[in-house]
Amino acid sequence: MSRWKCGIEGCDGRFEDVESAVIHQTVDHERHECKVCGTVVPEGYFAIRHAFDEHTRAEFVRAYDADSSAVRIREDVKDAVEADADLNSVVETLREQGAL
């Protein structure tokens, strides 16, 4: 069974490796407009990373009408991806494809 789910609402994409999942999220999904600052970022992992690297938890909760469990789920996803993914190679692949 594939270990990684896309996880974006309405998508049941599954992947053997995390790099493929992140590339799928970036290439195959509509971009996400950050509700805090309006920056357009790739959906999925990059949207989560943007929210938590660029903004405080409090800003996120306010802008997305989220609760602490929604924050925790996203932090867990971010940690899991970062623990497993070769993000440099993901970014390189996406640049080659012109997706970033």
Residues found near Zn ion in the complex (CB under 5 A): 6, 8, 11, 13, 34, 36-37, 39, 54
CA triple 6-10-14, angle to 5 deg: 30
Return the number of the residue (37 or 70) whose C-beta is nearest Zn ion: 37
Nearest by Cα to 29 from 16, 14, 11: 11
Residue 20 Cβ, how far from Zn ion at the closest point, in Å? 11
Return the number of the residue (38 or 98) whose C-beta is nearest Zn ion: 38
Residue 17 Cβ, how far from Zn ion at the closest point, in Å? 15
Residue 1 Cβ, how far from Zn ion at the closest point, in Å? 17
Distance between terminal CA atoms of the chain? 30
Return the number of the residue (13 or 71) whose C-beta is nearest Zn ion: 13
* Assigned token pair, 66: 């989220």
Other C-beta atoms closer than 10 Å to the C-beta of 26 total: 23
